[in-house]
A and B are shown apart, each in its own frame.
Chain A
Amino acid sequence: MKNRLRVLRAEKNWSQADLAERLEVSRQSVNAIETGKFDPSLPLAFRLARLFEMTLEQIFIDDGST
């Protein structure tokens, strides 16, 4: 699923490692989500939304591919 995570992370001036630390996941997880190759679970998606103080729809783009 496409998302705006890379842009949002850049706006906060966070590295992938910074974001991973805040989410308590591996940097590989952040990279895989950012590239749209791994869809996070709903709890992790909500953690992302809370961290960026946004709704899920503002972070993830539903392109109808899945």
Chain B
Amino acid sequence: MEVKLKIRRYDPESTDMVAHYQEFALQMDDAATVLDGLIQIREQVDGTLSLRCSCRAAICGSCAMKINGEAGLACNTKIIDVMPINGSPITIEPAGNMPVIKDLIVDFQSFWTKIKAVEPWLQPESKQPVAEYIAPEEDMIHLAGVVSCILCGACVSDCTVMEVDENFLGPAALAKAYRFTRDPRDASDDKRLSVLNEYGGVWDCTRCMKCVEVCPKGVDPMSRIMMLRERVMENGHNNTNGARHANAFFDSVKHSGWLDELKLPIKSFGIFNIKAMLGLIPLGIRAQLAGKRPPIFHKSIPGAKNVRKIFEKVENK
């Protein structure tokens, strides 16, 4: 079949140093992958096309890039699955949120720094066992889901928070941090959770699920970040806006069955947070004038006590 690829090229040594798009037309097998196409170009058409790739089987993580605007591995993306119906070319661009070195090769420096920042090595009790640590089978099976992360960077490429804030640790590093808090052999939860509670940690995720969608190994980073939030709060860290927000939300639904939107921002920021309270005033005024201020007297839903009973039942589990 005929395949058209539109690839973002960038040569840092060119005189104008400007990125541009270059189109290639190829004849390929129906079963071909995007990587097959890129390799065909660099071997037969344009030897200067540069990209990272190695295993061709979705285990080394080298070939993460944006295909039609969404991150993925070139080696397990079939061309027929991404070929636009209207005959326009498949757009191939380097991974996002990282500086481009050349063509499809990006600088992973900040990615590795953030992975290192979560101390991604087992920190057991000082006394080592004689043989292996005894650990339950289901724990290891659960961890296999997170350990299958191949550090490809697709999640980081498309993370919507990292587009506005470089400080965010990011889905890969946080999922890796989760892996250690969830390992029964690791004994440094308190230290880890305390760090993850800070700016740049678990509370900075905007819950947009981009990382879940683009991960080629089903690691589900956002769910891991949410589970870390649960752990962080259980571990006693309840004085961040994020924890206050989650607790206020929880209390509201428990009490009345739905959200008291007026109280929610106040409780999240903390009523004694004068600066934040003052910051809410302009919004409050605008909302009032537009008739969008939620009711001051928050009424429960009919049968709210049934909701309360469910809270009690599940919390006691």
A and B: bona fide binding partners: no
B interface residues, Cβ below 8 angstroms from A = none
